[in-house]
């Protein structure tokens, strides 16, 4: 019996320390409980209750929570535990929803012959060239895409095939670019950024 009373006492002390910690946190963040909230005590008890506590009798006296804690009252396990759970739920970090980025087209071309494109600007560090080509009237031919910076420096060869194919080539670097398309077969090319 003495062990049960000691355990009960330790639980009440623990709950009271949680309430005190919550009061300190409330000063910073204005959360659910505040020192001015009214709690209730009953005659001949050292436990304080919240207004809707099922253990609260009709003979009760209200006082600010801060005064009750200062006078040594400890929380009623049933009503305070409910409030602490409510506080934890309200203050728990909400899961951060990260919206997945999607590819957005910033330029595109279609054709059947060699072409030097106009300059296009890329604002993300990673972008892609999506392309598709197929044999034309002359049959299977070369299809090549050269990527140049606006100043004329070659960055990479994004495609170099013969006949039908389609693919995506990932390129890295913000800036201004243009393409040199070398082919005699039909093609479609799309430049895309992820945003």
Per residue of the chain (195 residues), what is the pLDDT tens digit?
667 666 666 665 665 665 555 555 444 433 455 656 788 888 888 888 887 788 888 888 888 888 887 888 887 877 766 666 665 565 556 666 677 889 999 999 999 999 999 999 999 999 999 999 999 998 999 999 999 999 999 999 999 999 999 999 999 999 999 999 999 999 999 999 988
Phi, psi values for residue 30, rounded to 5°: 55, 55
Q: Which residue has the tokens 């002359």?
A: 138
pTM of the model: 0.52
Measured in whole angstroms, how far is the alpha carbon of residue 144 from the centre of its chain?
A: 40
Estimate the share of the chain in helix, then strand, then coil, as percent rounded to the nearest 5: 25, 40, 35
Sketch the domain layout of the chain as residue ranges: 2-91, 103-194
CB-based burial label for 30 (10 Å; 0-12, 13-18, 19+)? exposed
Q: What is the pLDDT of residues 72-99, one digit of tens each?
A: 888 787 776 666 666 556 555 666 667 7
Number of helical H runs and strand E runs in the chain:
3, 13
CB contact at 8 A, 141 and 184: yes
Angle made by CA atoms 174, 176, 178, in degrees to the nearest 5? 125
Return the ∠ at Cα 30 (arms to 46 and 20), rounded to 5°: 30
CATH class entry, domain 103-194: mainly beta
CA distance 71 to 160: 83
Q: Which two tokens stand for residue 5?
A: 């009373």
> What pLDDT score does 63 carry?
86
**pLDDT given at position 20:** 58
Whole-angstrom distance, CA of residue 115 vs CA of residue 21: 70
Q: How many residues does the chain have?
A: 195
Convert the pLDDT of each residue in 9-25 to its tens digit. 666 566 566 555 555 54
């Amino acid at each position: 019996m003495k062990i049960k009373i000691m355990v009960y006492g330790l639980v009440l002390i623990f709950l009271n320390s949680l309430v005190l910690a919550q009061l300190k946190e409330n000063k910073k963040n204005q959360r659910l409980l505040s020192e001015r909230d009214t709690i209730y005590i009953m005659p001949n008890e050292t436990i304080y209750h919240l207004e809707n506590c099922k253990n609260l009798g009709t003979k009760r006296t209200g006082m600010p929570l801060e005064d009750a804690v200062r006078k040594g009252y400890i929380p009623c396990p049933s009503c305070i535990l409910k409030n602490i759970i409510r506080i934890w739920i309200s203050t728990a970090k909400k899961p951060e929803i990260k919206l997945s980025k999607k590819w957005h087209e910033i330029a595109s071309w279609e054709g059947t012959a060699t072409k030097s494109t106009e300059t296009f600007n890329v604002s993300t560090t990673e972008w892609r060239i999506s392309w598709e080509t197929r044999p034309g009237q002359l049959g299977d031919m070369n299809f090549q895409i050269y990527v140049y910076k606006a100043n004329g420096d070659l960055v990479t060869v994004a495609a170099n095939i013969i006949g039908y194919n389609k693919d995506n080539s990932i390129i890295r670097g913000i800036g201004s670019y243009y393409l040199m398309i070398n082919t005699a077969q039909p093609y479609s090319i799309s430049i895309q950024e992820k945003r």
